[in-house]
């Protein structure tokens, strides 16, 4: 059976290593697989649900995210990259789905709940923000996605999408919409810790290494990384667990034997933080340099990047239009057909 993949990101900044291990790597793999269509959406409308007063940020981030996609190797010949706001069928589907979802159900969505807390909306939650899970259900079902590769935090969105699809099909007595399955990142790679060791790498915590960071910035960030606070002198035994340098070596260094050797040495004592940081820096620089160079090359021709997004959006719109037509047929509102 053919698999249809739909996923995306809100453009609210550049992408970092957490995105790379948590979702970009997954997409790169999927775009090479047989019988698999991949759609990657830049969710600018969703970004606007809590940035209504700052469209410039969304607009600027959109091109940065597109550059990050192309830099890591998403290939427009294999993956349809498109912009959410350019597909008018998505908000139309959203409007019909909203009638199948209760306010109470939205209030229970755990991701929306914690975002409302984080963003400090209190009693002034923008209605568009509040209902974005339904818009996300439209994003996914418009493409009849069978699989949605996302992080753990998006589980409630996929669950709610399944409910919408099921309710729609039951209500209108036709199997129009597809209930998608979630694809989670490989074990242990869903939540890359930030360089401060305090929490998940994220823009708001300012603890990220970005795909677009210069070699100097990467080095600076690596040298400031959280290690083992009790490892004071080189000869002291050090702790590897919770030590960000080793966490990153586990994720990014393909030479697992070498990593094991370094861990043994660090635990025994006699291996300094500066040394392991320099080693990690080499590993990260080797990984990020080609990505950064491709990024710079694409950035020189932003018109060409926008053209890729335009073509992708055109392709995506054709698919969404077909689904919307079926949806309206099922609802009996295709009056002039
Ligand atoms: N909610 C996702 C995020 O915060 C972005 C997104 C919007 C998305 N629509 C989607 C992801 C559909 C997967 C499928 O990054």
213-267 pLDDT per residue, tens? 999 999 999 999 999 999 989 999 999 999 999 999 999 999 999 999 999 999 9
Has residue 210 been placed in a domain? no
Is 10 a pocket residue for ligand 1 (Cβ < 6 Å)?
A: yes
pTM comes to 0.95
Ligand 1 atom having least distance to the Cα of 46: 7
**Quick check: is 204 in a domain?**
no
Residue 243 lies in a domain: yes
Tell me the CA end-to-end span of the chain in Å, nearest whole number.
Answer: 31
Looking at the fold, whether 82 and 175 belong to one and the same domain comes out as yes
| Mean per-residue pLDDT over the chain, rounded | 95
Distance 285 CA to ligand 1 centre (A): 29
- Encode burial over 221-255: b for 16+ CB neighbours within 10 A, e otherwise: bbeebbbbeebeeeeeebebeebbbbbbbeebbee
Q: What is the pLDDT of residues 84-100, one digit of tens each?
A: 999 999 999 999 999 99
Nearest CA to ligand 1 atom 2: 9
Evaluate whether residue 201 is within a structural domain: no
Instruction: Take atom 14 of ligand 1 and give the residue whose Cα is closest.
Output: 7
Tell me: do 53 and 123 sit in the same domain. yes
Residue 262 and residue 309 in one domain: no
For ligand 1, atom 4: residue with the closest CA = 10
In a domain, 58, yes or no: yes
Output the CA 169–ligand 1 centroid distance in Å: 23
In a shared domain, residues 288 and 326: no
Residues 238, 271 contacting (CB under 8 angstroms): yes
Do residues 153 and 238 both lie within one domain?
no
Kindly report the CATH number assigned to the domain that includes residue 29. Answer: 3.40.50.620
Stated length of the chain: 337
d(CA 27, CA 79): 9
Are both 164 and 293 inside the same structural domain? no
Model confidence over 26-37: pLDDT tens digits? Answer: 999 999 999 999
What's the confidence (pLDDT) of residue 118?
Answer: 86
Residue 220 structural domain:
215-297
| Residues 170 and 71 grouped into a single domain | yes
Residue 54 lies in a domain: yes
**Alpha carbon of 132 to ligand 1 centroid (Å):** 10
Answer yes or no: do 106 and 32 share one domain.
Answer: yes
Q: Is residue 16 domain-shared with residue 129, that is, in the same domain?
A: yes
How many angstroms is it from 229 CA to the middle of ligand 1? 37
CB neighbour list of residue 196: distance below 8 Å, 6 or more residues apart = 205, 207, 226, 244
Task: Tell whether the model's pLDDT for residue 121 goes beyond 90.
Answer: no
Ligand 1 close to Cβ of residue 148 (< 6 A): yes
The CATH number assigned to the domain holding 236 equals 1.10.240.10
Q: Are 227 and 89 found together in one domain?
A: no
| 30 & 145 share domain | yes
Predicted local distance difference test score (pLDDT) of residue 188: 67
Among 154, 190, 204, say which to mutate for ligand 1: greatest number of ligand atoms within 8 Å of CB: 154
Domain-embedded: residue 207: no
* Pair 160, 231 in one domain: no
Query: How many structural domains does the chain have?
Result: 2
Query: Is 29 within the bounds of a domain?
Result: yes
CB 156 within 8 Å of CB 336: no
Residues 161, 138 contacting (CB under 8 angstroms): no
The response to whether residue 253 sits with its C-beta less than 6 Å from ligand 1 reads: no
């Amino acid at each position: 059976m053919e698999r249809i993949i739909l996923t995306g990101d809100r453009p609210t900044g550049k992408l970092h290593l957490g995105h790379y291990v948590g979702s970009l790597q997954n997409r790169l793999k999927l775009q090479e697989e047989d019988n698999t269509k991949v759609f990657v959406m830049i969710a600018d409308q969703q970004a606007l649900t809590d940035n209504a007063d700052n469209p410039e940020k969304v607009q600027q981030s959109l091109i940065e995210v597109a550059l990050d996609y192309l830099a890591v190797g998403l290939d427009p010949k294999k993956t349809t990259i498109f912009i959410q706001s350019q597909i008018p069928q998505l908000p139309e589907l959203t409007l019909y789905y909203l009638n199948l979802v209760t306010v109470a159900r939205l209030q229970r969505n755990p991701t929306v709940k914690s975002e409302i807390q984080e963003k400090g909306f209190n009693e002034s939650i923008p209605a568009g923000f509040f209902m974005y899970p339904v818009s996300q259900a439209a994003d996914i079902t418009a493409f009849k996605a069978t699989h949605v590769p996302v992080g753990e935090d998006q589980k409630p969105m996929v669950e709610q999408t399944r409910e919408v699809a099921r309710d729609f099909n039951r209500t209108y007595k036709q199997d129009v919409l597809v209930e998608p399955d979630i694809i989670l990142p490989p074990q242990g790679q869903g939540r890359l810790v930030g360089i401060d060791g305090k929490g998940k790498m994220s823009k708001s915590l300012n603890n990220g290494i970005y795909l677009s960071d210069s070699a100097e910035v990467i080095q600076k960030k690596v040298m400031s990384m959280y290690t083992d606070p009790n490892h004071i002198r080189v000869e002291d035994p050090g702790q590897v667990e919770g030590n960000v340098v080793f966490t990153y070596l586990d994720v990014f260094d393909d030479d697992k034997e070498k990593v094991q050797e370094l861990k043994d040495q660090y635990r025994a004592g006699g291996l300094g933080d500066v040394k392991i940081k320099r080693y990690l820096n080499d590993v990260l620089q080797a990984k990020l340099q080609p990505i950064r160079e491709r990024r710079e090359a694409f950035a020189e021709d932003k018109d060409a990047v926008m053209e890729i997004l335009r073509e992708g959006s055109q392709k995506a719109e054709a698919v969404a239009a077909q689904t919307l037509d079926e949806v309206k047929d099922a609802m009996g509102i295709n009056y002039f057909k």
